[in-house]
Structure 1
Amino acid sequence: MTQTGSDMNKRTMDLSKSSDTFPCPVCSETLKSPKILPCLHSFCEQCIHEFILSTARKKDIAIKDFNCPVCRTVVKQKDAEAKLDQWAKSLQDNVIINTVLTMDHGNKALECQTCKRYNQTFEAKSWCKQCYEAFCEKCISMHNRMTLLMTHDVVPIEDVGRKTGGLDLRAVSEYCGMHPLKMVDVFCFQHKTACCGLCAGINHRKCDNVKSIEEIVHSSGMYKTLLEKLNDILRESTTTLLQAKQQEKANIKVMAENTEEDAANFIQGIRSKLDICFETFKKQLTVFHDEQNTRLNIRIRLLEQLIQSIEHWAKVTEVVQTSGSITQFFFLHVETVKKQIENSTTELEQICGSDIDIYLSFKKNETLQKVESVDQIGSLSIEEREKDTNQMGDVFKICSNFEICIQRFEGIRIEHLRTMHFPGSKLTCGVCIADKFILLGDASTNPNILHLVDITTGLTINKTKITGSVKRLYFDKDLSRIFISCYTKKLFSADLKGETIAHINRVSFNTDFVGALCRFDKHIYIIVDDSVKKFFPSDPPMEMTRGFPTNTNSRGLNGMTISKEKIFYTTIEKEIKCSSLNGRNIFTYKSDKIRNPVSIVMLSLNVLIILDKKGALYALSNDGKKQATLLEKFEKVVDPWDMWISTDDNTVYIAGGEYIDVFKIKFD
């Protein structure tokens, strides 16, 4: 197909702008001898060389890897024997950017790389995306005739880098580091490692959860919606937080200006005698403003950097989705993006997680109204109020959709919100239903009663009798169905129709004592006697499958929760056990303080909350290494039976007797 002069001019204009789109993140100049890292960030060879040397000098030890200067992704040196000053040279060349820049500089024609190897010079007309080489008309004709090469994607040389944004996808290797001839086709969830089938058979044969990349791609919708989540969800949430910080900065400025104006009005009548004091006050105000400005600039900068990274990741994802292989897009790139998001949000949380609102005003010095000679006109009245919501909360929730868990533990505490009273009742359990209702089990009568309570007013709006001694409740939001375990050998299910509990049915296949229950993936997990079993919550529910043995006792009270393919449950030995989904023990925690744990819940921030039947509340890190005492005595509840959390994951309900104490989880 012939090209018109206007078409050629248009392409030349596009390429003339290309150098401006490829700046080095270190020196901000157009990339020179561009090198690309596995995270798909590109740098000048000299810039990344100096960065590596600087990293080695700071650590003052022999290093085996370094962090990307932009996203902090760890880059490992492939050749362990290579000298430090050769690391940058051995990094992957960004052929795409190098090709575009070569064409861009003075409209210099790119030479056919095949001919060049034979000391011949011909202008390149085409580019093969698979071979990563430029070809002249004669060579591309021969290339396209070969059976193994005829399916390659060949484009005009002017289109190189136009849709890829300068990304050289060869930096994301599809081959195993241990076995270079083997493709990476397996992922171990336990070690968070991708490898070939040979590595899986040697190094991961005892791991619980090893799946092929193809199986993961087809079974998880998250990989298919990554671009949408980056563009529409995470970037939107982060942008909202950035705007809030910018508005906060503007508010601080306005309050500072108003405060200064108040002070100026106060001293108008005695300005001649108070100039010195007024200047001192203005300096104090300026220092405060500068400090707050610096504080907010740090937060704004981090948020702007995160948005830039998100835009980069979204762009990379789009390129990988359209130009990369299945392994590159659906798995290796996804894991890299998840790690980058985790690093960035963790840094953000450390800075923005616990913040304050500033309320600034001018406080008059009463003495000034009586005495002419004073050494200051007043002081800044600074009132710090804790924010009602965690501004990073939305970002954390979105990260959890990416299977990224940001753990917080230090500074955890609780604040009492209210107490709900149900006279004459004997509350044994409860569960939140969406953000509207609480369902309570009441053993004060025979048969027992299920109370449907308005979560805002605390008033009972519906009562339903049940022929069983209610022990634990679980609400399945996907089915809008409630599962009810009892102290007898009974397990019930009930549908929620608007504000009515309807169709309470006994699950017929259960003939054993059951206890706590919760859902993970497609199954309901439940404590049955001295084991954990599971069943599929179909209509009617399918029979329980074999589980794994535990030292539990479902005739009494117990607790269980599942997070990130780990089951946490209480035992008859007063322990907190953590195991894999197939029963492999991960850790066992026991403390002299926690005398009788009967209920546990896991927060989205990966902190386990433990209810002690003796009347105390504790926090435990998800690795079982850190414990904190949250409360040693409840406001009204004296004999706690159960605990559950709200849908927003920061409100805890404790039930026992006639009362429910409601607490808010906070982090300093």
Structure 2
Amino acid sequence: MSQRKNTSPIAEYWCTVCEKHNKRMEAVKYCHDCVTFFCFTCEKHVHNMLAISSRHKMVERKDMPSMARTASIPITRCERHTAELLNMFCADHDEICCFLCKLDRHSDCNDIQHLPIVAKGIKLSPEYRDTMAAIQEAAGSADQVIRECQQLEAHVVKDAKSIAEIIDECCETLIGLINDLKNEAKTELAKRKDSVMESISAQITDYSKHKASLDATIAAIKTFEEAFNECQLFTDLKQGQKVAAAVQKIVSERETIAKYQTLEFTLSDEIQRLLRNCPSLGKFGLHIKDHDDKHVCNVTDICQLTNGEFLLTDTSNKKVKHLDAKYQIRNSIQFASKPLAACEVDASQAAILLQEGRQSKVQFIDTKSSLACLKSFPIGLNYTCSGLTFTAGELYVTCTDHRLRVFSLDGKLQWTLQNDGHGRPMFKEPRNILHNAEHQVIHVCDDHIGVVTLDLEGFVVNTAKLQKSLKCPRGLSTDLQGGVFVCSLETDAVLRLGPENGSQARVLLRHIDGIQKPCAVCYDKNRKKLLVVNQKSDTINVFSVH
């Protein structure tokens, strides 16, 4: 709808009676008792026609500006029509508007009243009390957020200072190691120098003796040459030939020795390669510690939601933490029991496995807003549980009595897995469990077996047995090809098992990558990143995986 132009002269106040009839006349008086503005005509023919109005307190136009501080009259201007005052209230839209707004946007509304009339007695109304309470509550919430942000700022400053000190310590450590290598190299150089110098000194002594012998021979030859004693001269010549040949032989051999004893030094190729291949001095982890956490985090499971966000189970602080797609804490929920595992049920809710003593239960939470608790059901009292996953409308739960139990969403036990087709126990100590959507199988970590893979009917498909690089498996996740990521708690490693579950096992991350007792892993299918959390750690490590 096009906006109508205001053809009336600009005035501070308009006649209330005329505005009710969609006319604009400048007000010349205001009646305190009627809470109404009047133009000259309406005052004369409407207000003053009633005998009851004769004693009303009227305010002249010249006194209206000062009256705004004490009387209940509109003083706020419309944002859409800056020359107009907000002097009307549309109950249909619960909106305060001006005269032009009434004509343009509220022409079809049935309940529009003059603002002074609607506002009369507002300070004593429940709406005033409720609104003020809501505003104060919102202000309190804002203050709380500000305090939390300020606390976070303090933590960030403190952490940054601590990390800067760690970086300095790392540099000092590296410089110390390099200085140790430098000192060792210089010590070795001194030893080699002394050895070579000793050899050279010995050669100088030997050659000095040979030189003296040669000088004596030359002197003898000259002596007998002058005496014309040919017999002795012949004898001295032959002796001189032998001495000269012997010395010449030694000299020729010395060339080889001298080359061998030359001092040389080349920087270690391994050190150069390590430094060139090192992308940085260290790596930064992302904090997963909440502002009110009282203990070091101990994450046992990471679950990626359909919207790309994540749920983390932190047993130390008895929390489930909701991370956004950039791995920042969005909110969290605290329980009376320890949350051990989490899995998404649908786009709006997730199932959490809670454990306290020997009592276990599944708690459903809302993942769309504030992680509010929904329904729940108990699992059992005679055994504890470790992991859960969801597929085809059923929850698969691993239990410490060597069984895998399958429940419906309302908590009814559907079936139990204990032995394979040959009557042998399928599990010894099952832990994490995961549904592989790419291959429609179930993977189960077992401390004493490895990673057991089942089809959806409960038959064992394959087993990645414990090996040198896979001990005490924890945490499970799959990539887009159906490959399985698993943590090796005891060997400080993260492995990828091929689609055949172990036939192509490959160590991806080691201790040198910052992996120390890893217990939770999750592949971010949207950003192609691998999230790993070490045991008893307040940070989550993020790696690029190719």
Q: How high is the TM-score relative to the length of structure 1?
A: 0.34
Q: How high is the TM-score relative to the length of structure 2?
A: 0.41
Highest RCO, 1 vs 2 (Cα 8 Å, sep ≥ 6): 1
The structure with the largest alpha-carbon Rg is 2
